[in-house]
């Protein structure tokens, strides 16, 4: 496998470089930077492993311009391109790769098959409405069949991943009704490596708050389209929060039960989850134990716990927003797409 | 004013010492420690101001045993005792002070007028059921009349304070119905200065999670009793979260509207809040701007914002859990009880 | 007193607004912003106290343009201007105030009486070489006599303040010789509120490092000129470090003793410090106890401890870099200059 | 390889379990806990990978009592025991393993070949003076020859590792003289997972300070014995600091040059390091770039930079205190001892 990473110096790009360095099936990595081509990749982030430079072959450990990656794609020795670019820009920059290699896009550009839904969420029409229908939504545990054959994979957002993984099985089984209330806490890296005052250390340490609640957050429609597809009539009220975490995300979901909780006790809830996730390497069921973001730090795992509370169910899920919520799931999608071991190059254990 | 602080080396005690040091009407402070009497108070916390030592007069800047404070109360030159002791222990240790001076109890021992409700929440009968009816619930903006004459003031918990202040006006006006969904994030100091593994720096930094959700948290019944008293039939589903904050609390509340949102637009919501809180020095209305915990760090303020979302209203509130959520509100209650300026010795501005 | 704050939305400006709000002798505050005049000051930082708006009188709680502050100075009802602007820009923007009111400059523009020394440290000639000799170096505990009559006060940097306060008494007494090795850890706010990638939360949390060591740091010559003036022939090797702190600074100094340590035991060291600092409200001697940055958080205090180690002495000092290291010392200088209580409006106790 | 980890639920133990889980040559892991045998290992730390349970074979994913591990050692199917126990206790608990399998001890019990030196540093005689001479000091880059044949390997402390790696080559070459001044900043995990008030989140966040300076820190003699062995007459003044980091250590060293700096310019310094470290997978030379702790987070790397400053040299080094400073170097020592690839199971890249 030969892979290129567009936007290699952003947070998702830097995690991708780390994961691909350790990936047993990836032979060569091209790190692409539109802003600083020619720079040594380990100058951009001295934390990167020296082993990455060995995998960078022809590019001699240096960030390359987009044109170099295009040439490699044209020469047909590039298998996959990961794009960690911002939405709208991503679809545009990826244009030369469509049809030449598999594109795994971490931006929102291909997450909606409906152009109007994209426009509503992002305030602009999608860059490539012609390709929306061809893209697979890369929620790896749910769209494996489509991912296996797709040449464009739209990696889901971190909030949708962490919210949908515990919700979809219950929604599919018709267990839920009404408006699902979702409250999420995200690590600051979810906002990207942007020179914004509100992302400064001094503004975020010892500080927590909700932001863009309800329909104001772009991820709400992305979550809702999947939720509504799984369970007719389900509504969503989604509120993200920022807390002083570099990485990590935890989601607390409250949903009304459509059926008596007696018939769906703790055992049965586990049964439903096992029906959908049994054997999947990155779903861990913690039953009544509530997952912590620390448990999954650095891993591609999503931990899921739950509690029954009267006629409601509470769901608790945790991921690393940069791994299962972004770059890790992107690699998982690559693994699925190319018939590799699903967990190749990914860790199921969290750091201490 | 002469004041004693029981449990002076815990977090609420240490904040009380700070506030009373700066309080213009407090002439003398007795810092009481059952575990380390005789120790210099600034040895226990070198951050304390040298000015505290001057206010400690007879006790010469040293932590005193409970017996000393009792003697001062018997000699009738102690006006008020603050207890920062754990529940059950607090009512017991405070026994000699009842009837001799005003007791402001930061524990849960007098928060429930109903002994059975206490027993359910705390798993043991209240220590002094005979005094429950005499205690005022010290939510300062709501129970001023009772506080002004009470000799026992039960200072509310931090979660109840931050949750009830935005909810009660709307509940009183009959604007809400159904089950109110409350998600809160608290600073770690809310758990007290306890030698517990799960409170270690290495366990809590870069880590967030829900804990004791739903009816499992002791503060849920404390919130619910007040909520139900304000608005008939209102239910509560409360989920606290821990995030890497030393101090601070933010609460996100979702409630169904009992009346059309059109008739209660942003203007009217503000109108309701002004009806109840106008002129109160520690309530700040932020309208659609969502408060951050940082804004109120070190202050006794509760910031309240809101947004309408279809037939629901979202409320956002923030306090410093150790100030408005504990020691600050205790001083505010002292001010009210003794006819001082409500804001004496308290700050309305947050630290940077 | 009527005071203006230039650069009111930077970190030192925001702390100045807080301190002046609480200052008993300051009647009116003009908050000046070159970038966002007309904006409500509490919109720029919702943590500011509502009481600030009352002190802002004519400016109605809004940030004003530099021209407004100049007009107030011309009308002779402005007593003091604090400048929290960057070096070089500060002297330029302050030009209309010189001669009209006292200028307390938190930048480096007037810290060197020697123009060449400034040029070496800052890579450019000073903006106002004509005024260098008129400015007092605002190390409050050392230059009170000059500060009392100066119309320009050059507030020292945070590193020089925290390094010099423990060193100067020993240097003056001829106790030290050789090259003094200084290692300092600073809170990130010392770098200002700048939109720089390396100041992002995700770059600085869980991260520590030295930076600009030795002669590479601009504060080294500022420290050295004072040190050399106090003790002939003393050298300096200064290394600052960044750690994940919003505020706070601790300095560890190792110096060779010029005289036998026996004759200058712990008692005598304290004696020397008392000779210079006795009665000063913001110097706290901790003897062999090592100060922590937390002890002085939010206070204007400098805590100083020491240990003898063979023929060397180790000095340990801690300040809040934004208070004693910047805005607090600026207010202290104002107090000294205008004959107010030295500690007016300043706290000697640290936050918890 | 079959390995046991004593003290499996401490921080070094938990990192060892992570590393051994990913180690390609380790077939079976026995996690030993004296305090909670019988507990599921992933209950003690839900962050551990499910893959660990598979490697735990006979122990069925449960923590086992010391007796079980002894039995495995007696049955000769245990190759190596890692001890993450406290000093003095470690040598005692390890007793049954000596002679039966290789013991890699992360405590201080075998770090001094001189019993008296141990007694001075630890205030008690060593538990097993008879074995001191048989133990190899496990500074992997320096004592490979001894490690390859030793049956007891004394893993160095984190401070000695990070301090000695940059110092030893220069000391060996006779480049240094006088007293070396070392200032270090360590992550809080270096103090272990102990229920101590001073290690609580609320005590350590936003707080930094020196502690146990000079000869007061136990690691000073451990550093000095190696330093003095490498360069005659070299002295040491060592001051550790705590900052709000979970993991990570950076060391700033100032040393006098014994020879003219001209003859040993930046190039030559690199030359010396290359002479000793060329080809070693975990030493990374950063020249004048100063390493950050973040760069090596999670990796077994030690990054080393330097600057010349007059007649002194400044050295800057960074490690992850739990990896290269403890468990990672322990695994590196196992690799060397058993003739495996030195870097097997270890990462050279740091986490983001």
Backbone angles phi, psi at C318, to 5 degrees: -145, 140
Q: How far apart are CA D238 and CA D219, in angstroms?
A: 9
Residue A11 with chain D: CB contacts under 8 Å: 352
Residue D286 with chain A: CB contacts under 8 Å: 46
Q: In the predicted model, is pLDDT for residue D264 greater than 70? A: no
Q: How far is CA D107 from CA A42, D67, D89, D122, D157, in A?
A: 35, 20, 9, 12, 8
How confident is the model over C217-230, as a mean pLDDT?
A: 93
Task: Measure in Å the smallest separation between the Cα of A206 and chain B Cα atoms.
Answer: 5
Are residues B188 and D199, on separate chains, in Cβ contact within 8 Å? no
Collect all residues with Cβ–Cβ distance below 8 Å to D267 and sequence separation of at least 6: none
Question: pLDDT tens for residues B73-124?
Answer: 999 999 999 999 999 999 999 999 999 999 999 999 999 999 999 999 999 9
Residue A15 with chain D: CB contacts under 8 Å: 352
Residue C36, both tokens: 């966002």
Mutate to test the interface with D, among B35, B200, B203, B211 (most CBs of D within 10 A): B200
Question: pLDDT tens for residues D120-146?
Answer: 999 999 999 999 999 999 999 999 999
Select from C40, C94, C43 the least CA-distant residue to C69.
Answer: C94
Question: pLDDT tens for residues A206-229?
Answer: 999 999 998 877 889 999 999 999
Closest-CA residue of A relative to D205 is A206
**Of A266-270, C288-292, D340-344, which gets the smallest average pLDDT?**
A266-270
Q: In the predicted model, is pLDDT for residue D260 greater than 80? A: no
- Helix (H) or strand (E) segment spanning residue A3: strand A2-6
Q: Percent of chain D scored above 90 by pLDDT?
A: 93
ipTM of model over 0.85: yes
Residue C352 with chain B: CB contacts under 8 Å: 11, 14-15, 18, 45, 47, 189, 246-247, 322
pLDDT of residue B264: 61
How confident is the model over B143-151, as a mean pLDDT?
A: 98
pLDDT of residue C327: 98
- Cβ neighbours, 10 Å, residue D341: 12
Judge whether B199 is closer than 8 Å to chain A, CB to CB. no
3-state class percentages of chain C: helix first, strand second, coil last, to nearest 5: 40, 20, 40
Q: What is the CATH number of domain D2-156+324-337?
A: 3.40.50.720
Whether domain B159-321 has CATH 3.30.360.10: yes
Judge whether D215 is closer than 8 Å to chain C, CB to CB. yes
Helix/strand number for chain C, H first, E second: 12, 13
Q: In the predicted model, is pLDDT for residue A352 greater than 80? A: yes
Q: Percent of chain C scored above 70 by pLDDT?
A: 98
Select from C296, C317, C210 the least CA-distant residue to C254.
Answer: C317
Known catalytic residues of A are 158
pLDDT of residue D218: 84
Closest-CA residue of C relative to A10 is C197
Question: pLDDT tens for residues D47-73?
Answer: 999 999 999 988 999 999 999 999 999
Residue C262 — pLDDT band, cuts 50, 70, 90? low
Length of chain A: 352
**Of B136-150, C94-108, C214-228, D40-54, which gets the smallest average pLDDT?**
C214-228
Q: Which residues of A315-341 are buried (b: 16+ CB within 10 A; e: fewer)?
A: bbbbbbbbbbbbbbbbbbbbbbbeebe
Residue C34, both tokens: 């070159």
Question: pLDDT tens for residues C117-150?
Answer: 999 999 999 999 999 999 999 999 999 999 999 9
Residue B48 with chain C: CB contacts under 8 Å: 349-350
Q: In the predicted model, is pLDDT for residue C303 greater than 70? A: yes
Q: How far is CA D75 from CA D6, D71, D94, in A?
A: 18, 6, 16
Q: In the predicted model, is pLDDT for residue C266 greater than 70? A: no
Closest-CA residue of B relative to D242 is B201
Task: Measure in Å the smallest separation between the Cα of B180 and chain A Cα atoms.
Answer: 11
Sorted by where each begins, the domain ranges of chain D are 2-156+324-337, 159-321
pLDDT of residue C218: 84
**pTM for the whole structure:** 0.97
3-state SS, residue C326: helix
Which other chains touch chain B, taking contact as 3+ CB pairs less than 8 Å apart? A, C, D
pLDDT of residue C261: 60
Task: Measure in Å the smallest separation between the Cα of C349 and chain B Cα atoms.
Answer: 4
Q: Percent of chain A scored above 70 by pLDDT?
A: 98
Residues 264-283 of B with CB under 8 A from C: 281
Are residues B297 and A250, on separate chains, in Cβ contact within 8 Å? no
């Amino acid at each position: 496998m030969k892979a290129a990473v567009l936007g290699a110096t952003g947070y998702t790009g830097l995690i991708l470089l780390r994961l691909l360095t350790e990936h047993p099936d990836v032979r060569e990595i091209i790190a692409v930077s539109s802003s600083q081509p020619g720079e040594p990749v380990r100058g951009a982030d001295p934390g990167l492993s020296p082993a990455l430079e060995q995998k960078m072959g022809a590019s001699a450990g240096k960030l390359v311009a987009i044109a170099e990656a295009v040439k490699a794609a044209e020469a047909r020795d590039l298998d996959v391109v990961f794009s960690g670019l911002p939405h709208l820009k991503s679809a545009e920059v990826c244009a030369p790769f469509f049809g030449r290699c598999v594109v795994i896009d971490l931006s929102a550009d291909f997450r909606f098959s409906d152009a109007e839904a994209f426009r509503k969420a992002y305030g602009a029409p999608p860059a490539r409405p012609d390709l929306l229908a061809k893209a697979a939504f890369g929620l790896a545990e749910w769209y494996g069949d489509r991912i296996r054959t797709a040449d464009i994979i739209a990696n889901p957002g971190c909030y949708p991943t962490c919210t949908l993984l515990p919700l979809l099985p219950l929604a599919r089984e018709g267990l839920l009704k009404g408006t699902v209330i979702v409250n999420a806490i995200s690590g600051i890296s979810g906002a990207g490596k942007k020179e914004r005052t509100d992302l400064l250390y001094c503004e975020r340490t010892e500080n927590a708050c909700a932001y863009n609640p309800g329909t104001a957050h772009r991820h709400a429609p992305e979550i809702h389209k999947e939720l509504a597809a799984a369970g007719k009539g389900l509504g969503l009220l989604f509120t993200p929060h920022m807390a002083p975490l570099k990485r990590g995300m935890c989601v607390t979901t409250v949903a009304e039960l459509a059926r008596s909780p007696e018939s769906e006790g703790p055992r049965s809830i586990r049964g439903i989850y096992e029906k959908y996730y049994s054997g999947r390497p990155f779903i861990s069921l913690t039953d009544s134990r509530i997952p912590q973001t620390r448990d999954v730090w650095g891993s591609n795992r999503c931990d899921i716990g739950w509690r029954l509370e009267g006629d409601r169910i509470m769901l608790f899920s945790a991921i690393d927003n940069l791994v299962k919520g972004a770059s890790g799931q992107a690699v998982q999608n690559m693994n699925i797409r190319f018939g590799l071991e699903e967990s190749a190059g990914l860790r199921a254990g969290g750091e201490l």
